[in-house]
Amino acid sequence: MTENKREWFRITVTVLIVLAVAMFAAGLMLLGCGEINGEKKLEDMRTPVDENLTVVGVSQVGSESVWRTANTESIQNVFTKENGYFLIFDNARQKQENQIKALRSFISQRVDYIVFSPLTEDGWDTVLQEAKEAGIPVILIDRKVNVKDTSLYTTWIGSDFTREGRMAGTVLAKYLTRQGRQDDTIRIVVLQGTEGATATIGRTRGFREVAQQHDNWIILEQVDAEFTTAKGEEEMERLLDKYEDIDVLISQNDDMTFGALEAIDRAGKTAGTDGDIMIISFDAVKNALKLVADGVITADIECNPHQGEYAETVIERLEKGDPVAKLYFVPETVYTKNNAATALEEPED
């Protein structure tokens, strides 16, 4: 090899080594930050350095409704550093596969507790078995899971959705009687929430139980409107086109009711206890309660979103080795014109 060739060879090898070291360092930096295209990846997030904090992985369904936002806030308000927690929060954006991915990530990070609200009831056996084998207690909030082995979760905290559905039927019967329409033919449409979700299953079942006691109540159609305002509006518009005389709308959440009200207005009809269409809604969020106070919504069945504090109490008990119940029902009220205005005056939680 000539001196020139040796020099050229030395330079090439040096450049290659420098390039390799630079690429390796860049790779390490990306992993350390856990960022790809500016997005933090769940699996790259590390559990806290502070060993005194209890690590809680929370998988939330999504952000489809005003209720859901309040539910998320109640979680984020309690699982704070000040309260002794390190919260890893994931929004599944209405996709079960995202929830399963989040749960697996929590398991691989060896969190102390998993708190999650399942989108729908089916399909959780495998991932919950993995959590059980990793020794991580699972606390369900809001919705339930349909699993063969109920030891796969420690406890569930949420609403009695079937009771909510029954209360919707009972309050409707009361108002119809008050108007002297108890024997009239009553044509009903139902906007349902996400198919397969506990809230949808329970509210549908509870309302149907009461409806079956009234031969004059005809359920024209019940349709999935996904718990969203946009879908509520779209489906109500379609129902108004299809059926001339809708007497009652049962809307399984306030967001769908807000959308339905737009469609009712556009169809030239009036909503209200004394209007063309009587509405019974669920959730009782603030803007809906205002409509109850004004008589636009006849009754709103509360769905209590403040489940974070209950989840924290369960974790405190588990930390102390105290027993916990398998089910915890949160307290709920029915709002009508009689109590909505007073409720609105009360300070918010």
Residues binding ligand AHR (CB under 6 A): 64-65, 67-68, 142-143, 199, 227, 253, 282-283, 303
CB of 83 to ligand AHR, least distance (A): 25
DSSP 220-280: EEEEE-TT-HHHHHHHHHHHHHH-S---EEEESSHHHHHHHHHHHHHTT--BSTTSSBEEE
CB of 231 to ligand AHR, least distance (A): 12
Judged by beta carbon, residue 54 or residue 155, the one nearer ligand AHR is: 155
CB atoms within 10 A of CB 81: 11
CB of 135 to ligand AHR, least distance (A): 28
Please tell me the distance from the alpha carbon of residue 154 to that of residue 344, in angstroms, as a whole number: 36
Judged by beta carbon, residue 85 or residue 258, the one nearer ligand AHR is: 258
CB of 183 to ligand AHR, least distance (A): 32
Return the C-alpha torsion angle 325, 331, 334, 339, nearest 10.
170
Q: List helix spans (H) across the chain.
A: 3-33, 66-78, 96-108, 125-133, 161-178, 198-211, 229-242, 254-266, 286-293, 308-320, 340-345
Judged by beta carbon, residue 54 or residue 281, the one nearer ligand AHR is: 281
In terms of Cβ atoms closer than 10 Å to its own Cβ (0-12, 13-18, 19+), residue 123 is: middle
CB of 328 to ligand AHR, least distance (A): 15
Q: Which two tokens stand for residue 334?
A: 């029915």
Judged by beta carbon, residue 64 or residue 235, the one nearer ligand AHR is: 64
Tokens 């899971």 label which residue?
A: 145
Please tell me the distance from the alpha carbon of residue 208 to that of residue 280, in angstroms, as a whole number: 14
Which residue, 229, 250, 224, 246, is CA-closest to 171?
250
Judged by beta carbon, residue 89 or residue 182, the one nearer ligand AHR is: 89
CB proximity list for 283: less than 8 A, separation 6 or greater: 65, 66, 67, 253, 254, 255, 300, 301, 302, 303
CB of 185 to ligand AHR, least distance (A): 29
Judged by beta carbon, residue 68 or residue 166, the one nearer ligand AHR is: 68
CB of 203 to ligand AHR, least distance (A): 8
Judged by beta carbon, residue 65 or residue 74, the one nearer ligand AHR is: 65
CB of 285 to ligand AHR, least distance (A): 8
Judged by beta carbon, residue 224 or residue 316, the one nearer ligand AHR is: 224
CB 106 within 8 A of CB 114: yes
Please tell me the distance from the alpha carbon of residue 89 to that of residue 59, in angstroms, as a whole number: 6
